[in-house]
Amino acid sequence: MSKYFLGVDVSTTASKALVIDVDGNVLVTKGNPHELSTPRPLWSEQDPENWWQAASKSIREVLQQIPAEQIAAIGLTGQMHGLTSLDRDGKPVRPAILWNDQRSTAQCAAITARVGEKHLYQHIGSILLAGFTAPKIMWVRENEPDVYQRIAHVLLPKDYIRYRLSGAFVADVADASGFGLMDIGKRDWSDEMLAAFDIPHSWLPELCESPEVCAYVSEEGAAATGLKVGTPIVGGAGDQPASGVGNGIVVKNQTSLTIGTSGVAYAASDRYAPEPDGRLHTFCGPMPGTWLHMGVMLSAAGGLRWLHDEFAPTLSYDELNRHAESVPRGSLGLLFAPYLTGERNPHPDPFARGAFVGFTLRHGLPHMIRAVMEGVAFGMRDQLELLRSLGVNPSEAVVAGGLVNSPVWKHLTTDIMGIPLYTVNTGESSAFGSAILAAVGAGAYPDVPTACARMIRRVETIQPDAQGAAEYERLYPAFRGLYPALKNTYAALAEFES
């Protein structure tokens, strides 16, 4: 059989293609960027054609080094929730509305009132949030009726790439959980939710499991990418479930903390048991018969990029790290609330905003840099505490994302979490996880845990410093008080943003 597996990741910033062998060795990775549009405050959009051009180019580039006939199967992953609306000819009718877009707050409130908050989150596994797909469909119906009338299909970002590769309208259950239209416990579309949202079932993709072969590369897909006609494509998963696979999070109490553009705490479960107040996402897992718990903060490493681009664009990130290292723990009493694009967990509030609290004349740019790093880490600690409230008690956790490139950020995050953190053998956990799913779909392994045990290897373990952990434990309650203290202020300020 062919011996290589291709993972394709349609992230917010780029489309990447990655090839691994049966032992999990990454042979080649290529990526091409996307453009992001923010036409109004709280809006976030991309052109699906831009995804396809970047993804197909990345695939062609990896196939310059790996023969197409040696690709046994393809796995797809990508940013979750993005509304990709197509007409009867499969053409986008408008730009995709992304996961971090906050325009559909009113639609979320209307559906929640109609269905009932508790019943809704027990059914769909989460409080309904503006980032989800279904309320965006409602927003289009109410604000762009001419566009709405043209819709015949709705897909998620990675599934648009599947459609261009194969002509199939398919989504895996892990990614489709973020529509807000599934009965998560039953792993299927919910007639009740479809009726509540008044969305036609015919618009929705067919559902499959993440390691299941659900499509094949068409002649058109092959011509655009260089792939072999008939190459199998598995369901894949959204970026966070795929990252869970790529980090080896496949049994209870295993936990990962991914600090990329957003921040995600992730744990696997063998039963459907949503958080009692809906403050976590509980979605279908990327393995049949499993579910996942996921806490999300909308701005994580993106906060440091914002600080760099706006206040220190001439400095390298190595220089930012050196500045942070020069500042003591607690940044001399400066705290950062990391809610630059609203927040999800544990504060589902699209009006939450970033804030520095505690400025004095002693503070400068180095203190701001470290305070941002600490604020993001405290936000991730909030996610970990939510997981612990569900009985997830990790003795250690995988850490992934841009944070792993910063020794000072890794160490202060370890101290704030109070448990050892470790890295694994890829920095592209979502694409890597989707390639593992492809390997299982191709029959190289009988199931995902077996594949992960063979393919994923621990690289570095960071132990918490006892004194550092104690100092941050004293500071954590002050951080937790920031959002309640500022909530009403955030709402008042939102009136001045348009």
Residue 472 forms part of a structural domain: no
Task: Specify the number of domains making up the chain.
Answer: 1
**Angle (nearest 5°) at CA 208 between 207 and 210:** 130
Domain membership of residue 423 (yes or no) is no
Cross-strand bridge partners of residue 5? 20, 73
Active site residue 270: no
What is the reported pLDDT for 1? 52
Tokens of 455: 């393919």
Is the pTM above the cut of 0.85? Answer: yes
Residue 2 banded pLDDT, cuts 50, 70, 90: low
Residue 123 lies in a domain: yes
Over residues 96-146, the pLDDT tens digits come to: 999 989 899 999 999 999 999 999 999 999 999 888 999 999 999 999 999
Distance CA 97, CA 94 (A): 9
Instruction: Reply yes or no on whether the pLDDT at 77 is more than 90.
Output: yes
- Residue 319 inside a domain? The answer is no
Domain CATH code at residue 90: 3.30.420.40
Structure tokens that stand for 441 in this block? 């779909």
Task: Establish if 255 belongs to a structural domain.
Answer: no
For CA atoms 73, 78, 82, 84, give the dihedral sign. negative
Residue 400 counted as domain residue: no
Q: Confidence class of residue 498 from pLDDT cuts 50, 70 and 90? A: low
Evaluate whether residue 433 is within a structural domain: no
| Cα–Cα distance measured from residue 28 to residue 272, given in angstroms and rounded to the nearest whole number | 37
Q: Are 295 and 364 in contact (CB under 8 A)?
A: no
Residue 223 located in a structural domain? yes
Q: Once rounded to an integer, what is the mean pLDDT over residues 259-269?
A: 90
CA of 471: how far to CAs of 329, 377, 396, 466, 475, in Å? 8, 14, 20, 9, 7
What letters, b where the CB count within 10 A reaches 16 and e where it falls short, cover 260-298?
Answer: bbbbbbbbbbeebebbeebbbbbbbbbbeebbbbbbbbb
Q: CA 476, CA 494: separation in Å to the nearest integer?
A: 27
Given CA atoms 434, 439, 445, 447 in this order, what sign does their dihedral have? Answer: positive
Domain containing 143: what range?
4-241
Pick the catalytic residue from 239, 349, 382, 415: 239
